[in-house]
Structure 1
Amino acid sequence: MHGSHLGAIKRIRSDISKAVPIVSKENGTFGAIFRNRLKDVPFIENGCTVIFKCAVVGNPQPTIEWFSMKFPLWMTINI
């Protein structure tokens, strides 16, 4: 990756971490803001554990759901 791209990525990460919710409604609600960029998970061999992390803020508090191939993932599911 070229140096200019690395600098841009660092600026984007910095901007994301500084994101401040903008309350646009009188009742104080605002849409979800992802605090960290989601990361791809490389192919995992059978029997391995994968952990997905997501930091998001919103009012009301957002509900996070993970999907694979359009199907919801559950913490106890074996795919």
Structure 2
Amino acid sequence: MWDGIELWLRKAGGPLLVGAIMTGQALTREHWWPPLRLLLLLAGIGAVVGCGIETWKLIRSQGPTKTALDHLEAFERGENPDPTAP
């Protein structure tokens, strides 16, 4: 279970946090230039939608969570996570 939580935090939790902060800044800063606020709002909404997409992919994945986490960690270290690939 903890592997699933860690995998979600690494793949989807970050974009959710960034999206919430960007959207909050766009809505609370009244004296900013309006096109900048709109751009920030759209980027924040995009990040939240990206979190939803990643969450959906994680829920629908067929492989075990431990394997997906191992692949993610190998990719972060710069290793080739697929042993059959050259």
Q: TM-score, normalised by structure 2?
A: 0.29
Q: Which has the higher helix share?
A: 2
